[in-house]
Chain A
């Protein structure tokens, strides 16, 4: 590449960064900003994320990890931006880590729960998000028990919406922090064999992970009782060959699934699944699918163990595995703050009415 082309390239980048081209600032007014090719305003699921977008999130999260290691992890980046967490369902780590992520970047963060707010008086979802926008919220982090609720909010409000979990559908920030944890521990996601064990059917974490892991180039195996694996998973849809479903292998035998695994991701078994007759008993489930130290030896010797939390120790995971050196579970939580900082930085919130 000769110098001439390079100089011109740089100016083009600068003009792209300035957007409208109406800027009065000449090129290179400040150091080259090296703009990222990121145009996404909302993060609702990973089903339409490109491998490049995932790489940008992971790379930015890595820089944010360094910030979190400082004595005073507080930056002025999002000064003047207001973030609201609107949670219609219980949460510890997602909400707390979004709050810390926002504060580390200098944003103001307010927390709204369905209990104790006007939601209890019957206010509709759309009215609640409009009210939050009207008081100056730029970024809305939302969790809802109905799949699709954040999509509805994104259509009705001029603010960036981040999905903090909707029904059984999606939990994109969890999947991104899982990818980040795998990359940090194993160096690369591409080519890794990742086994997701447990209740895939009711898991938004699993669904978003299937998209994310597949875009990042992992080999995915799901394992669990047939009643907890959605029908059609792993089947190529002949009727819609254009539709790109993640390529997944389904396996009901844990030993077979874990063979050669780089990552073992186990999921929370919700106790109500037993009441609805999908599994005979918790004991039977753990007898077949609990990740114990002994069974972990079926995977690669230093396989990474992950769990999105909260854990049922002794049901889907044995306590000695959860707290072992192979476990990345605590690191997942720390990485969650870095990944959420990266997303809050990248999506840039709603533009102030100008």
Chain B
């Protein structure tokens, strides 16, 4: 088994700062922007992007957390129920720019469920998607607006985004089976 470090903590911090700048540039300022992280690793990532934006713009950005398990399209096929967490959307999202934040973009099914879940809270003016790693293999017509790292993978590989908040340290790992 081979675990390859794709991004170090410094790489991740640079990517977060860059994404923060891109979001502000794209939205012509930070006002009207709401960051919504997908449980569980998207939520701390969203908080970090918000901290970065506040750092250079001086404007606080509302941060929410979204649970998508009740909107998954594969629930009847799973043998065990996924854990459900509270969603928390701290502000009215109607007519705002919502940036969904997640750790890995793969098939696009999580992003689809997140769009659906967000719908329950209002109708944003625009929804964008920020991810730390885009590993390809989309199954739905979904593309990210802000990407930390584009990482070509094969389907039998695993990508883990580790965060200090949830895992004790910051790094992105690629795990490839069969290369022992």
* Stretch of B13-21, B28-36, B49-57, B63-71 that contacts chain A: B63-71
CA distance A330 to B68 in the complex (A): 30
Residues of A near B1 (CB, < 8 A) are 4, 8
Residues of B near A187 (CB, < 8 A) are none
Tell me which residues from 1 to 33 in chain A have a Cβ below 8 Å from any Cβ of chain B. 1, 3-4, 6-8, 10-11, 16-20, 26-31, 33
Q: Tell me whether A30 and B84 are in contact (CB under 8 A).
A: no
Residues of A near B72 (CB, < 8 A) are 30, 33
> Please, which residue of chain B has its CB at the minimum distance from the CB of A347?
B81
Chain B interface residue count, CB cutoff 8 Å, equals 44
> Please, which residue of chain B has its CB at the minimum distance from the CB of A56?
B83
Which of A8, A20, A29 lies at the interface centre, i.e. has the most chain B CB atoms within 10 A of its CB?
A29
Inter-chain residue pair count (beta carbon < 8 A):
113
Q: Tell me whether B80 and A28 are in contact (CB under 8 A).
A: no
Contact A18/B79 with A7-B3, A62-B86 known, Cβ cut-off 8 Å:
yes
In the complex, how many angstroms separate the beta carbon of B168 from the nearest chain A beta carbon? 8
Q: Tell me whether B87 and A75 are in contact (CB under 8 A).
A: no
In the complex, how many angstroms separate the beta carbon of B80 from the nearest chain A beta carbon? 3
Interface presence of B102 (CB below 8 A):
yes
Q: Tell me whether B158 and A7 are in contact (CB under 8 A).
A: yes
> Please, which residue of chain A has its CB at the minimum distance from the CB of B102?
A31
Interface presence of A72 (CB below 8 A):
yes
Interface presence of A348 (CB below 8 A):
yes
Contact A16/B160 with A3-B171, A70-B120 known, Cβ cut-off 8 Å:
no
Q: Tell me whether B107 and A67 are in contact (CB under 8 A).
A: no
CA distance A7 to B110 in the complex (A): 20
CA distance A16 to B111 in the complex (A): 23
* Stretch of A35-43, A196-204, A319-327 that contacts chain B: A35-43
Interface presence of B159 (CB below 8 A):
yes
Q: Tell me whether B40 and A34 are in contact (CB under 8 A).
A: yes
Contact A30/B109 with A3-B3, A7-B160, A11-B158 known, Cβ cut-off 8 Å:
yes
Interface presence of A77 (CB below 8 A):
yes
Q: Tell me whether A31 and B110 are in contact (CB under 8 A).
A: yes
Residues of A near B121 (CB, < 8 A) are 70
Q: Tell me whether B84 and A60 are in contact (CB under 8 A).
A: yes
Interface presence of B156 (CB below 8 A):
yes
CA distance A337 to B80 in the complex (A): 23
In the complex, how many angstroms separate the beta carbon of B66 from the nearest chain A beta carbon? 11
Interface presence of A76 (CB below 8 A):
yes
Partner of B79, one of A10, A17, A64, A65: A17
Residues of A near B3 (CB, < 8 A) are 3-4, 7
> Please, which residue of chain A has its CB at the minimum distance from the CB of B38?
A31
Q: Tell me whether B116 and A35 are in contact (CB under 8 A).
A: no
Interface presence of A110 (CB below 8 A):
no
Write 29 A-B pairs (CB below 8 A) sorted by A numbering.
A3-B160, A4-B3, A6-B162, A6-B167, A8-B1, A16-B79, A16-B80, A19-B78, A26-B156, A28-B106, A29-B106, A30-B74, A30-B110, A33-B69, A33-B72, A33-B78, A34-B82, A34-B83, A35-B83, A36-B80, A38-B81, A59-B83, A60-B84, A62-B86, A63-B87, A72-B120, A75-B71, A105-B70, A348-B81
Residues of A near any B CB (own CB < 8 A): 1, 3-4, 6-8, 10-11, 16-20, 26-31, 33-38, 59-60, 62-67, 70, 72, 74-77, 80, 105, 345-346, 348
In order of increasing CB-CB distance, the 3 nearest A-B pairs are A19-B79, A35-B80, A33-B82
Q: Told that A3-B173, A31-B110, A35-B83 touch, could you supply 17 new A-B pairs with CB distance under 8 A?
A: A3-B162, A4-B175, A6-B160, A8-B1, A26-B155, A28-B104, A31-B68, A33-B80, A35-B81, A36-B81, A36-B82, A60-B83, A62-B86, A66-B88, A70-B121, A345-B84, A348-B81
